[in-house]
């Protein structure tokens, strides 16, 4: 069954906006009377029947609950957008499939890419959440500067970096035990020494991701997988 994101949703009815209605009519060629799934990405997926359908709007009667998921753990990844958009957006897709909660594009000293249009990212995230029948839609924030993220109030805050001369914990074996965690992942050139020291001074734990040299997007995928798949 196909999953749609509703603009408005209550336990009786749902309203789909323009993009989802277009997808239902023009791509999937659905008709009134057909059963679909509908969610707002906040934990519950409902079953519904299409009652009205046009290119710009669709209405559904809710017939029951398909699935419900309570969040056990909250994982926020702040990650340098890679030079290649494809690589960054592949990260967005995979992180969504695996259940990340929040993503922030992080601009730092060695960033190869200084802007990211989050409209593009939100479409990718929504498509991935639909495809994987996820109850939760991750939040994609606007890009922020490195110094701004240091003021985050997450209970558990980590900075992943490649400087083996500094003492670091192994994040991949510990992240699944953190109920609410923010992880900073650097761009292609890693974080600068000054950035690592600034984060440490603000109380961030310094961490590594094992012995392999992982690309930025691979590091992000590894952290989400370790934190969410178990």
With 0-12 / 13-18 / 19 or more C-beta atoms within 10 angstroms meaning exposed / middle / buried, residue 46 is buried
Owner of token pair 């495809």? 131
Nearest one of 108, 94, 98, 100 to 147, comparing CA atoms: 108
Taking residue 213's Cβ as centre, other Cβ atoms within 10 Å add up to 9
Name residue, tokens 């440490």.
200
Name which of 64 and 230 has its Cβ closer to a copy of itself.
230
- Report the distance separating Cα 145 and Cα 142, nearest Å: 10
221 in contact with a copy of itself (CB under 8 A): yes
| Binding string, residues 182-211; x marks residues near a copy of itself by CB under 8 A | ---------------------------xx-
Q: Which DSSP symbol is given to 25?
A: I
Left if phi > 0, otherwise alpha if psi is -120 to 50, otherwise beta: which for 99? left
Q: Is 48 in the site for a copy of itself (CB under 8 A)?
A: no
Q: Is 55 in the site for a copy of itself (CB under 8 A)?
A: no
**Strand pairing report for 205-208 and 13-16:** unpaired
Q: Which one among 53, 157, 222, 227 touches a copy of itself, defined by CB under 8 A?
A: 222
> Binding of a copy of itself at residue 215 (CB under 8 A)?
yes
Give yes or no for residue 70 binding a copy of itself (CB under 8 A). Answer: no
Q: Which of 29, 70, 114, 212 binds a copy of itself (CB under 8 A)?
A: 212
> Mask 161-180, x = binds a copy of itself (CB under 8 A)?
-----------xx-------
Nearer to a copy of itself, 7 or 102 (CB): 102
Q: Binding segment for a copy of itself among 17-25, 115-123, 143-151, 221-229 (CB under 8 A)?
A: 221-229
DSSP letter at 45?
E
Helix (H, G, I), strand (E, B) or coil at 26: helix
Q: Phi/psi at 21 (nearest 5 deg)?
A: -65, -40
Q: Which two tokens stand for residue 127?
A: 């498509």
Closer residue to a copy of itself, CB minimum distance, 96 or 154: 96
Please select the residue that binds a copy of itself; options are 124, 133, 144, 200, rule is CB under 8 A: 133
The one segment of 19-27, 39-47, 50-58, 125-133 that binds a copy of itself by CB under 8 A: 125-133
Site residues, a copy of itself (CB under 8 A):
86, 90, 94, 97-99, 131-134, 172-173, 209-210, 212-215, 218, 221-222, 225-226, 229-230
């Amino acid at each position: 069954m196909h999953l749609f994101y509703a603009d408005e949703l209550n336990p009786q009815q749902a309203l789909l906006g323009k993009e989802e209605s277009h997808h239902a009519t023009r791509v999937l060629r659905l008709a009134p009377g057909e059963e679909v799934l509908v969610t707002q990405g906040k934990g519950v997926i409902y079953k519904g029947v299409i009652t009205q359908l046009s290119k710009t709007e669709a209405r559904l009667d809710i017939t029951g609950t398909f699935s419900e998921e309570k969040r056990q753990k909250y994982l926020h990844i702040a990650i340098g957008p890679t030079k290649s958009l494809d690589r960054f957006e592949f990260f967005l897709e995979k992180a969504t499939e695996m259940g990340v909660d929040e993503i922030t594009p992080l601009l730092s000293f060695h960033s190869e890419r200084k802007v990211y249009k989050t409209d593009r990212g939100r479409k990718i995230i929504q498509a991935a959440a639909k495809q994987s029948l996820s109850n939760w839609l991750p939040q994609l924030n606007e890009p922020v500067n490195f110094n701004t993220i240091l003021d985050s109030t997450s209970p558990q805050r980590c900075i992943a970096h490649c400087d083996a001369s500094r003492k670091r914990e192994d994040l991949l074996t510990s992240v699944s035990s953190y109920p609410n965690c923010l992880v900073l992942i650097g761009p292609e050139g890693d974080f600068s020494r000054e950035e690592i020291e600034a984060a440490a001074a603000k109380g961030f734990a310094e961490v590594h991701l094992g012995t392999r040299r992982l690309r930025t997007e691979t590091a992000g995928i590894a952290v989400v997988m370790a934190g969410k798949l178990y």
